[in-house]
Amino acid sequence: MGAAIGEVVPLALAIAASPFPIIPAILFLFTPRARATSIGFLIGWMIGIITVTVAFAALASVIDPSDETPTWASWARIGLGVLLVVLGVRQWRQKSEKSATPAWMQSIEDATPGQALRLGMLLSAANPKIVLLAAASGLAIGSADLTTAGVGRCRRGVHRCRGQHRRTPAATPRDLG
**What pLDDT score was predicted for residue 150?**
44
The pLDDT value given to residue 156 = 47
pLDDT at 158: 47
pLDDT in tens, 43-76: 999 999 999 999 988 888 777 666 676 777 778 7
| CA torsion angle 83 89 91 93 (round to 10) | -150
Dist CA 164 CA 170 (whole Å): 18
Q: Is residue 40 part of a domain?
A: yes
Would you say residue 112 lies in a domain? yes
Domain count, the chain: 1
Does any domain span residue 52?
yes
The sign one gets for the Cα dihedral 114, 119, 121, 122 is positive
Whether 162 maps to a domain, the answer reads yes
- Local mean pLDDT, 10-residue blocks, the chain (177 residues): 79 86 88 91 94 89 70 78 85 72 78 91 88 86 68 47 49 53
pLDDT of residue 74: 76
What is the per-residue pLDDT for 106?
Answer: 79
Angstrom CA distances, 53 to 3, 7, 36, 68, stand at 17, 14, 26, 25
Q: Give residue 58's domain range.
A: 2-68+108-176
On whether residue 58 sits in a domain, the answer given is yes
* 17 in any annotated domain: yes
